[in-house]
């Protein structure tokens, strides 16, 4: 097994452990909200048997942070916990599963694809409409027919009598128009809109906990370059975050006037590494590729940072003619596509090999000339 495979295996294990912990927490909260909903009624607006609960909220948070399947599982687990307490021969719980999944699934899928605040809001609005439409179908063809048979012996007069004090014009003939149009639609729209607003307001604030990967939330000990690389100076990166971690470790050993040579094909991640190093040095400006400017200079960090791209330079003499070398004293110089033959001082060579779309192999070598 390679070191890269070992790294990935450890990450999968941590994610699996954290997934179980987060699912248990969100399911428990969802069940609590589900149970408390039985005590919250809006009898002045809706039938007394309508429970005003927002238990889809934790499921939606799970869908956004861990994916659509996780969000739907919170809905299912929550309702399964309610099964032993069912007074409706499980029809009520199955109805809640259908409506909960109808609300959580579209929003989670849209957010998974686009991952923006705007798409999250759009997805929740789509879910609100879709789940309300599903509520019409479920009430018309599943839940209400079942309750009519269970409690009223299929006699419509019984349920009409229950609602007549709330809806003065309701009769057996217009029951479905009143029940679906005046009760089911506004009730579900109100409920889902409230869930949408709460999620929209608090999701980002809870994001750190919801994206916990199983590692400690406490501040970690700062890692040096020796902590990260193996005996051959090799480091494996599976993400931009991993690359930034390596760049930060390298930055801790810099004292000024070092030259960092980046080697790697186009798209290997040289600019990403530079962004990580600049961030670690406290550079405030936006880091951009110097392909056309040849050199970008940043002065807001701990040391002046010079980012040099020699791809369009023929040889070392062209650099001298541009007078670039005179501006690199006492700073940190990052060089891509190096054409220098006579660099002096401390030189750090960072070779980047592309392993696949996301994984990179970094080989770090230091030399003094």
- 145-162 burial: b if 16+ Cβ within 10 Å, else e: ebbeeeeeeeeeeebbee
* Integer CA distances (angstroms), 106 to 190, 198, 203, 263, in order: 18, 17, 17, 44
Q: Exposed, middle or buried, 121 (CB in 10 Å: 0-12/13-18/19+)?
A: middle
| Separation CA 44–CA 11 (nearest Å) | 52
Quick one: pLDDT band at residue 207, thresholds 50, 70, 90?
A: confident
Residues 186 and 124: their CA atoms lie apart, in Å, by 17
What are the structural domains of the chain?
3-210 (1.10.1760.20), 225-368 (3.40.50.300)
What is the C-alpha separation between 243 and 238, in angstroms, rounded? Answer: 8
Contact (CB, 8 A) for 260 and 277:
yes
C-alpha–C-alpha distance, residues 349 and 351, integer Å = 6
* 284 contacts 278 by C-beta, under 8 angstroms: no
Where do the DSSP E strands lie in 177-303?
234-237, 259-263, 295-298
Q: Is the pLDDT of residue 50 over 80?
A: yes
Region 85-93 average pLDDT: 83
Q: What is the pairing mode between strands 346-354 and 360-368?
A: antiparallel
Residue 90's pLDDT is what?
85
For residue 329, is pLDDT > 70? no
Q: Tell me how far apart the alpha carbons of residues 256 and 329 are, in angstroms, rounded to a whole number.
A: 8
Q: Which of 121, 89, 96 is nearest to 188 (CA)?
A: 96
Is residue 101 pLDDT above 70, yes or no?
A: yes
* Residue bearing the bigger pLDDT, 177 or 37: 177
Q: Mean pLDDT of all residues in the chain? A: 87
Half-sphere exposure of 191 (CA within 13 A, CB side): 28
Instruction: Provide the terminal-to-terminal Cα distance of the chain, rounded to the nearest Å.
Output: 37
What's the pLDDT band for 224 if we cut at 50, 70, 90?
Answer: confident
Distance separating alpha carbons of residues 23 and 70, to the nearest angstrom: 8
What's the rounded Cα separation, in Å, for the pair 243 and 237? 6
Given this model, what pLDDT does residue 198 score? 95
């Amino acid at each position: 097994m390679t070191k890269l495979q070992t790294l990935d295996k450890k990450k999968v294990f941590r994610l699996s452990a954290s997934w179980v912990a987060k699912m248990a927490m969100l399911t428990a909260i969802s069940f609590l909200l589900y149970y408390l909903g039985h005590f919250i009624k809006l009898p002045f607006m809706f039938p007394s048997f309508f429970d005003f609960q927002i238990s889809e909220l934790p499921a939606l948070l799970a869908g956004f942070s861990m994916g659509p399947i996780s969000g739907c599982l919170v809905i299912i687990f929550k309702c399964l916990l309610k099964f032993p307490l069912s007074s409706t021969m499980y029809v009520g719980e199955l109805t809640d599963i259908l409506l909960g999944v109808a609300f959580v699934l579209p929003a989670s899928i849209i957010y998974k694809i686009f991952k923006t605040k705007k798409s999250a809001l759009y997805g929740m609005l789509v879910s609100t409409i879709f789940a309300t439409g599903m509520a019409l179908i479920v009430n018309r063809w599943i839940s209400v027919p079942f309750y009519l048979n269970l409690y009223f012996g299929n006699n419509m007069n019984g349920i009409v009598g229950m609602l007549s004090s709330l809806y003065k014009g309701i009769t057996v003939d217009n029951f479905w128009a009143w029940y679906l149009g005046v009760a089911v639609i506004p009730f579900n729209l109100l409920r889902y809109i409230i869930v949408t607003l709460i999620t929209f307001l608090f999701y980002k604030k809870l994001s750190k906990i919801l994206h916990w990967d199983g590692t400690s939330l406490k501040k970690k000990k700062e890692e040096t370059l020796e902590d990260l690389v193996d005996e051959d100076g090799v480091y494996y990166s599976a993400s931009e975050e991993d690359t930034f971690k390596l760049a930060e470790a390298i930055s801790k050993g810099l004292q000024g006037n070092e030259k960092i040579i980046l080697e790697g094909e186009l798209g290997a991640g040289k600019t990403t590494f530079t962004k990580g190093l600049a961030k670690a040095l406290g550079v405030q400006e936006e880091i951009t590729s110097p392909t056309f400017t040849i050199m970008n200079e940043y002065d807001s960090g701990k040391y002046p940072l010079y980012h040099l791209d020699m791809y369009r330079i023929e040889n070392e003499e062209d650099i001298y003619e541009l007078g670039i070398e005179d501006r690199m004293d006492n700073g940190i110089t990052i060089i891509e596509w190096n054409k220098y033959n006579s660099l002096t001082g401390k030189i750090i060579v960072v070779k980047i090999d592309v392993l696949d779309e996301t994984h990179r192999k970094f080989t770090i070598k230091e030399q003094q000339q």
